[in-house]
Chain A
Amino acid sequence: MMKFLYSIFLLIVIGVAMMQNMIFLAGIVAVIFTLKFSSAALVVLAIGIDTYFGAFGTMPYFSVIALCWYVCSELIRLRIRIMD
């Protein structure tokens, strides 16, 4: 339960940081989130932020970046586990 609340808290921090244009803070928290949990939730959040800002009318950069981030992080995680 605590882990779930912690993940929700981190996601809200990332969302607010993005809305306040504090990209650096959002990036750091996103890295922490990726280390602790699966980054699939970040893609959902990025889609939500892009939707909120109406970016789907043009190009949803956050969603695309988050998807790339998800693929990279999961592949790296997979490699680390194999080496373990």
Chain B
Amino acid sequence: MRGHSSRNQRVNNITLTTIFFAVIIVTGMLLPRIFSLVGTVIMTPVHMVNGWYETSEQAIPVLLRDKSELQDRINILENELLIAKGEDLTFRRLKDENTRLRALLSETDTQRTVAKVIARPGDIPYDLLQIDQGSNAGIKENALVYVGQDQLIGTVFQVSRNYSFVQLFTTPGVEMTGFISGPEVVATIEGVGGGVARVRVPQGIPLTIGDLVYVPSVQPGLFGRIGFVANRPSQPEQFGYITLETPLQSLYEVGVSDITVPQATVESINFGKQSIIAERLLIEEAHTVSFEELLSDSASASTTPEASEESI
């Protein structure tokens, strides 16, 4: 009997406390401003501890903050790793698909000659490399030179029997057409020198660091990534600077393709274009004259009905 009354008393206490807090909560919802003021005063100690944790430079809060930040960083990196794994899978799938499609088009891989770099800028003028293979190994002038499988770095510009010189595309004065993969635009790649090339595009094109730059006239023709963007809003153009993925001093071996690319200057191309245009115009003029002559002949012949019928 006593136990029962004690239990009932406790239940009553719980009920009363619950009702009390419920009334406070409802009052708070009805009078949020007054409650906010009272709550701010009540929460001052907690707020002070929170502020100490967030801003203090003492050992314990710094340790706790650093641990928390490191944990966040680990989570972010783990997510990035997962994404990278997925991208790697996509890359491999696309590569396989590319190889298969190339095989369908009967495009076979080109032969390459491996050559070791025996002299670099510093020993020889900048933007030149000396390699240990020459004409005896089948190296030809204007042959494309690669680092790794894809990255195009320059062409062979002088060949001896046992060595050759490679001119990098970053040589000042070298220009070629490139395709920037991020904003999907075609731009001229200009050699700046010192292992650096640049692309110039008009303002408004979203050029970003990391965009891949291809040389579309050769396959595979990856030139590099944009490593720095110089963009002054007052200027009409912006520049994307490209450096080699592998530093020149770290180059040990290169691959020399059997594909050659004829070198041409702007003047020679213009001369070639002009000569083609002139030739075509002469031919068209000749065609025009003969057609007019034909017309005049037909007009003179059409004076008699018989002749006109014949001409028809």
List the interface of chain A (C-beta within 8 A of B). Answer: 11-12, 15-16, 19-20, 40, 43, 47-52, 54, 56-57, 59-60, 63-64, 67, 70-71, 74-75, 78, 82
Minimum C-beta distance from B11 to chain A (A): 7
Residue of A nearest to B32 (CB): A56
Given contacts A52-B47, A70-B21, A71-B18, contact A47 B39 (CB under 8 A): yes
Contact in complex: A49, B25 (CB < 8 Å): no
Known: A48-B46, A51-B38. A78 touches B28 (CB 8 A): no
Q: How far does the alpha carbon of A62 sit from the alpha carbon of B50 in the complex, in Å?
A: 18
Give A67's nearest chain B residue, CB to CB.
B21
B24–A78 CB distance below 8 A: no
**A40, A43, A52: which contacts B40 (Cβ < 8 A)?**
A52
Contacts of A12 in B (CB 8 A): 45-46, 49
**Is B24 a contact partner of A47 (Cβ separation < 8 A)?**
yes
Contacts of B40 in A (CB 8 A): 51-52
| Cross-chain contact A60 with B28 (CB below 8 angstroms) | yes
B32 touches A15 (CB 8 A): no
Decide: B39 and A60 in contact? CB cutoff 8 A: no
How many angstroms between the C-alpha atoms of A66 and B10 in the bound complex? Answer: 19
Number of contacting residues on B, CB 8 A?
27
A52-B39 CB under 8 A given contacts A15-B50, A78-B7, A78-B10: yes
Cα–Cα, bound, A15→B7 (Å): 32
B residues near A47, Cβ cutoff 8 Å? 21, 24-25, 28, 39
Contact of B46 with A19 in the complex, beta carbons under 8 Å: yes
Closest Cβ–Cβ distance, residue A1 to chain B (whole Å): 18
A56 to B31, CA, bound (A): 8
* Identity of the chain B residue whose Cβ is nearest the Cβ of A18 in the assembled complex: B46
Q: Is the CB of B29 within 8 A of A60?
A: yes
B14 touches A75 (CB 8 A): yes
The residue of chain B having its C-beta at the shortest distance from the C-beta of A82 within the complex is: B7
Q: Which residue of A lies closest to B52 (CB)?
A: A16
Choose from B14, B21, B43, B53 the contact partner of A51 (Cβ within 8 Å): B43
B residues bordering A, Cβ < 8 Å? 3, 7, 10-11, 14, 17-18, 21-22, 24-25, 28-29, 32, 35-36, 38-40, 42-43, 45-47, 49-50, 53
Once bound together, how far apart are the Cα atoms of A56 and B28, in whole Å? 6
- A52 to B49, alpha carbons, bound, how many Å? 14
Say how far A27's CB is from chain B's closest CB, in angstroms: 17
A55 and B295 CA atoms in complex are apart in Å by 94
- Write the nearest CB–CB distance from A9 to chain B, whole angstroms: 10
A50 to B42, CA, bound (A): 12
Minimum CB–CB distance for B235 against chain A, Å:
46
Contact assessment for A64 and B25 in the assembled complex, using a CB-CB cutoff below 8 Å:
yes
B14 with A56: CB separation less than 8 A: no
Q: Which residue of A lies closest to B54 (CB)?
A: A20
Q: Return 22 A-B CB contacts under 8 Å, by A number.
A: A12-B45, A12-B49, A15-B43, A16-B50, A16-B53, A19-B46, A20-B50, A40-B17, A40-B21, A47-B24, A47-B28, A48-B43, A50-B39, A51-B42, A52-B47, A59-B29, A60-B29, A63-B21, A63-B25, A64-B25, A70-B21, A75-B14
Would you call A70 and B28 a contact (CB within 8 A)? no
With a cutoff of 8 Å between Cβ atoms, the chain B residues found around residue A19 in the complex are: 46-47, 50
Q: Is the CB of B25 within 8 A of A60?
A: yes
**Closest CB-CB distance, B54 to chain A, in whole Å?**
8
Are B10 and A57 closer than 8 Å at their CB atoms?
no
Distance to closest chain A CB from B9 (angstroms): 11
How long is the Cα–Cα vector from A52 to B47 in the complex, in angstroms? 9
Chain B nearest CB: distance from A30 CB in Å? 14
Besides A16-B53, A54-B32, A56-B28, 18 new A-B residue pairs in contact (Cβ under 8 A), listed by A number: A12-B45, A15-B49, A19-B50, A20-B50, A40-B21, A47-B24, A51-B35, A51-B43, A52-B39, A54-B36, A56-B29, A60-B25, A64-B25, A67-B21, A67-B22, A70-B21, A74-B10, A74-B14
